Amino acid sequence: MEIISLILNVIFGGTLMATLVTLVTLKSQARKSKAEAEAKILENWQTYIGDPLKKEIKSLRNEVSKFRKAIDKISGCIYADDCPVRNELQNTAGDTTDNQP
């Protein structure tokens, strides 16, 4: 390898080797910059999107759990036969249209 380097230095006056070293250095710097940018994007996504979504999902799970517990208690209520909440839930269970705004 040293012989090839010596011959190339004599023929091209050392500019070829300097150019090659510069290209290799620039390529590694570009890779490093790209990796840093991707890490920053991932960190921002996690901070501004991932973590809030996790909190919202946890909150929704808790609310659904409370709702299920309340629904399970309807059958034990002495007013279960005439319960307007139960009747409304049974009516909306058969309705397949989306009633949300």
Residue 32 has pLDDT above 80, yes or no: yes
pLDDT at 53: 97
Per-residue HEC secondary structure of 68-90 comes to HHHHHHHCCCCCHHHCHHHHHHH
Residue 94 has pLDDT above 80, yes or no: no
Averaged pLDDT of the chain: 83
- Tell me the whole-structure pTM to 2 decimals: 0.55
Relative orientation angle of helices 2-12 and 15-45, to the nearest 10 degrees: 110
Write down the domain spans for the chain: 2-92
Helices (H), 1-101: 2-12, 15-45, 51-74, 84-94
Average pLDDT over residues 52-70: 95
Instruction: Give me the half-sphere count of Cα atoms (radius 13 Å) on the Cβ side of residue 4.
Output: 3
Average pLDDT over residues 20-47: 91
